Amino acid sequence: MTGGPTRDAIAALTERESHRVAVVLGSGLSDVARSLTGGNPVPYADIAGIPVSRAAGHEGALYSGEVAGLATLVFAGRVHLYEGHDARVVTSAVRTAATAGCDTVILTNAAGGINKGLQVGDPCLISDHLNLTGHNPLVGAEDARPHFVDLTEVYSRELRTIARSLDPGLKEGVYAGLVGPTYETPAEVRMLRTLGADLVGMSTVLEAITARALSLRTLGISIVTNFAAGITGEPLSHDEVKEAGKKASERLGSLIAGVIERLR
């Protein structure tokens, strides 16, 4: 895989030969990295091939630790299309995870709730997605990977079943991924609902496609940080998103740790 750090470089930085699981943390969710791994972050700025996130609420550091005996790589913060990066750069965490030896990736994000059955502050499993970014990370990929990747089950049913066994009340929904950086208009949110979306955000879909292309099992978890535009009539703010993400971090951290503990 081109561009990212080599397996040896990751091993030297993390003092672990290889990793089994990767976790990518979205807006306001960086606290989960410390609770999962116990700390010792390496700033992305010190790692050649990992882009530095400039979005507020994204720490921009790599953590490594043992979770239930499995070596786990945690990306606290990611970069986005709206920062001006292309689809390959945006998916670098997932490619780095594959290089590090991971066979499972847990993608998290902050999302707006479209389905009124969701509650602000709750985690919601991603059952499927609508890639409405107009981008695809496999366009022009230099690797000898197939382009025509099957996306019938992007988000592993098996991993979702494990997550629900830990928290039976967990909801599932379809995540619509848009470019941003603006939030949606109420008309766009009505359109997204008509298209079958339950959640909306500005990340995850390209990473999930890359994960499938690299045969990584993927679990997607959104934290509903707000209701999408027009649903309550209240204006949206990034501070509210970050705050709700922070509040949900403890619950998200235990859910992720529980899933990793049950991985085979």
Active-site residue list: 27, 58, 80, 82-83, 110, 202-203, 226, 238
- Smallest gap, in angstroms, from Cβ of residue 196 to ligand HPA? 16
Among 44, 63, 175, 183, binds ligand HPA (CB under 6 A): 183
| Phi, psi of 39, rounded to the nearest 5 degrees | 110, -155
Please report, as a single letter, which amino acid is at residue 259: V
- Smallest gap, in angstroms, from Cβ of residue 107 to ligand HPA? 14
- Do 200 and 111 contact (CB within 8 A), yes or no? yes
Among 206, 226, 231, 249, binds ligand HPA (CB under 6 A): 226
Which residues from 92-121 bind ligand HPA, rule CB under 6 A?
110-112
Size of the site for ligand HPA (CB under 6 A): 13
Among 51, 177, 201, 253, binds ligand HPA (CB under 6 A): 201
Output 101 or 201, the one with its CB closest to ligand HPA.
Answer: 201
- Do 110 and 223 contact (CB within 8 A), yes or no? yes
Stretch binding ligand HPA (CB under 6 A), from 11-19, 68-76, 100-108, 198-206: 198-206
- Binding status of residue 175 toward ligand HPA by CB under 6 A: no
What does the chain come to in residues? 264
- Binding status of residue 53 toward ligand HPA by CB under 6 A: no
Handedness of CA 30, 3, 94, 41 (dihedral sign): negative
Token digits of residue 71: 């070596």
CA distances 89 to 95, 100, 109, 135, 188, Å, are: 10, 17, 17, 12, 27
Which distant-in-sequence residues (6+ apart) come within 8 Å of 52 by Cβ?
A: 43, 44, 45, 60, 79
Among 73, 225, 248, 256, binds ligand HPA (CB under 6 A): 225
Among 97, 213, 216, 228, binds ligand HPA (CB under 6 A): 228
Stretch binding ligand HPA (CB under 6 A), from 35-43, 90-98, 137-145, 220-228: 220-228
- Do 239 and 225 contact (CB within 8 A), yes or no? no
- Smallest gap, in angstroms, from Cβ of residue 153 to ligand HPA? 24
Q: Which among 191, 196, 183 is positioned nearest to 115, based on CA atoms?
A: 196
Token digits of residue 123: 């985690």
| Residue tagged 């403890």 (tokens) | 250
- Binding status of residue 163 toward ligand HPA by CB under 6 A: no
Please report, as a single letter, which amino acid is at residue 122: D
- Smallest gap, in angstroms, from Cβ of residue 255 to ligand HPA? 19
Which residues here bind ligand HPA, judged by CB under 6 A?
110-112, 183-184, 200-202, 225-226, 228, 236, 241
